[in-house]
Amino acid sequence: MVLSVVHSQEESSSSIASCVFASRYIQDPLPRYKMPERSIPKDAAYQIIHDELLLDGNPRLNLASFVTTWMEPECDKLMLEAMNKNYVDMDEYPVTTELQNRCVNIIAHLFNAPVGEAEKAVGVSTVGSSEAIMLAGLAFKKKWQNKRKAEGKSYDKPNIVTGANVQVCWEKFARYFEVELKEVKLSEGYYVMDPFKAVQMVDENTICVAAILGSTLNGEFEDVKLLNDLLVQNNTNTGWDTPIHVDAASGGFIAPFLYPELEWDFRLPLVKSINVSGHKYGLVYAGIGWVVWRSKEDLPEELIFHINYLGADQPTFTLNFSKGASPIVGQYYQFLRLGSEGYKKVMQNCMESARLLREGLEKMGQFEIVSKVKGIPLVAFAFKNQNKSLAFKLSKALRHYGWIVPAYTMPANAQHVTILRVVIREDLGRQLVEKLLSHVECALGELVETPTMAPKVTFTIKVRPTKGNLGSGGDGGTLHVPATSLYWEPENPEVIHKEVQLSDGKTKGVC
């Protein structure tokens, strides 16, 4: 006697039920925006979601992003092992906390922070450079406000001076935390902040000047040393105390290994804080950034919260509370595993790929290279004839080969320049670069073959007037066709490119 039948007929009837594609779950409609009433088996859930995700782009071929898409299997394993740890439970996971502290110190030393042998560096891990920049910006704002208050001066109109090439997170900081962003405009052929113009824009309400080491748009390093020297002079002349923040999101792990002689970091006295994305050239998957301060004095104590309800007293300065511990473990793995030697070799390989790509593109004769040889390993290029739509079309054509290469217009005052950008990450080696070049050539061929002009239409209308239905004017007369009744309908309607313009703010969130 069967006491209970808990499975549906289908599930218990035969072994075929164990094959997801033979089950009804593959055909059942899924409510998209509401939670389904019934549970489904785990293998069916896995397969359904896995299959839908097949339609995402391939991360390895996504050349739009600086963010890491490949790590060693050993590190994948470590990160999986740490997946169920909440980083914020520092008292429960003291070793993870210790690893983050080691990373902060490693980075501070890499950036030449004046940290004594027995001293600890000041800094935190964040979700990315955006959070790091919010924290650094808040520290500058607080410090400036405290100083102004002490001097009995107004402290309600803080501003930051940056180049118009800043990443969108600076605009977010400005809007969310009510700081005016004063952007130095770019010009054709000069796509980074001009230090002379920046210093001219500084006033008594400037909480910091933000320089970028590795412009998001073309990878170029801004001249932080020149900015520092000009600002030192300006501070002496005015009696102000304007500091510098370096947004080294992409360049922070490039410059120390490829250009150790380049002075852009804490070697310059006015540089008070630096952010870097661990998930860019720090070589860790998405979810980690860092911010380090020159010294304790540069991080106002009132921004630090001390929590003790998870155990011992823990200082924290972050925007979020809980977050995964895996990226911190991944970052520490990379430092330990690669060492300076490994990072240098990885970056050299990236530069070599960038060189191959740049030279290959130059040979094609149609492009002008907009990125610099020195800087982030990326190749930004524009069509020589400045045909805006060609860049977008090439970007689209490359998609058919699997490559994601973004095209975008430059910010003010270089909006008329449209560029394409290929970011070289460590997993884009010579073989792939050569393939990419050959696909660019094929795509260019397709662009030439595709008529870009509006189609010419010729048609003849034969009119044989019949008495009565074309008026009563006899044989002579004019046929009137209302303009609204004539239209052209292409056989394959297709949107070539959609440009999203916001009335205010950045149009692109390239990262």
Binding site for ligand PLP (CB under 6 A): 66, 128-130, 167, 169, 212, 216, 247, 249-250, 277, 289, 511
Q: Which residue has the tokens 């155990």?
A: 311
- Residue 354: CB minimum distance to ligand PLP, A: 16
- Residue 98: CB minimum distance to ligand PLP, A: 24
* 66/293 with CB nearer ligand PLP: 66
SS3 324: strand
* 125/129 with CB nearer ligand PLP: 129
- Residue 83: CB minimum distance to ligand PLP, A: 20
- Residue 211: CB minimum distance to ligand PLP, A: 10
Q: Which residue has the tokens 């100083």?
A: 147
Both ends of the chain: CA-CA distance in Å?
65
Give the bridge partners for 421, in sequence order: 380
- Residue 167: CB minimum distance to ligand PLP, A: 3
- Residue 357: CB minimum distance to ligand PLP, A: 19
* 89/171 with CB nearer ligand PLP: 171
* 273/277 with CB nearer ligand PLP: 277
Inter-axis angle of helices 326-363 and 94-110, nearest 10: 40
* 110/291 with CB nearer ligand PLP: 291
By Cβ distance, which residue is nearest to ligand PLP? 128
- Residue 87: CB minimum distance to ligand PLP, A: 17
- Residue 168: CB minimum distance to ligand PLP, A: 8
- Residue 63: CB minimum distance to ligand PLP, A: 15
* 289/327 with CB nearer ligand PLP: 289
* 152/509 with CB nearer ligand PLP: 509
Q: Is 275 exposed, middle or buried (0-12, 13-18, 19+ CB in 10 A)?
A: buried
All residues at 6 or more sequence positions from 260 whose CB lies less than 8 Å from its CB, including other chains: none
- Residue 79: CB minimum distance to ligand PLP, A: 18
Q: CA angle, 262 as apex, 259 and 271 as ends, to 5°?
A: 130
All residues at 6 or more sequence positions from 54 whose CB lies less than 8 Å from its CB, including other chains: none
CA distance 407 to 278: 25
Give the bridge partners for 382, in sequence order: 368
All residues at 6 or more sequence positions from 224 whose CB lies less than 8 Å from its CB, including other chains: 211, 213, 244, 246, 263, 264, 265, 268, 271
SS3 259: coil
Phi, psi of 11 (to 5 degrees): -65, -35
DSSP string for 123-192:
EEEESSHHHHHHHHHHHHHHHHHHHHHHTT---S--EEEEETT--HHHHHHHHHTT-EEEEEP-BTTB-S
- Residue 130: CB minimum distance to ligand PLP, A: 3
CA 443 from chain centre, in angstroms, equals 26
* 212/346 with CB nearer ligand PLP: 212
* 217/447 with CB nearer ligand PLP: 217
* 100/250 with CB nearer ligand PLP: 250
* 189/509 with CB nearer ligand PLP: 509
* 167/318 with CB nearer ligand PLP: 167
Q: Which two tokens mark 386? A: 């400045």
Q: Which residue has the tokens 């982030």?
A: 376
Torsion sign, CA atoms 59, 63, 68, 74:
positive
- Residue 52: CB minimum distance to ligand PLP, A: 25
SS3 for 422-444, per residue?
EECCCCCCHHHHHHHHHHHHHHH
User: Where does residue 13 fall: left (phi above 0), alpha (psi -120 to 50 degrees), or beta otherwise?
Assistant: alpha
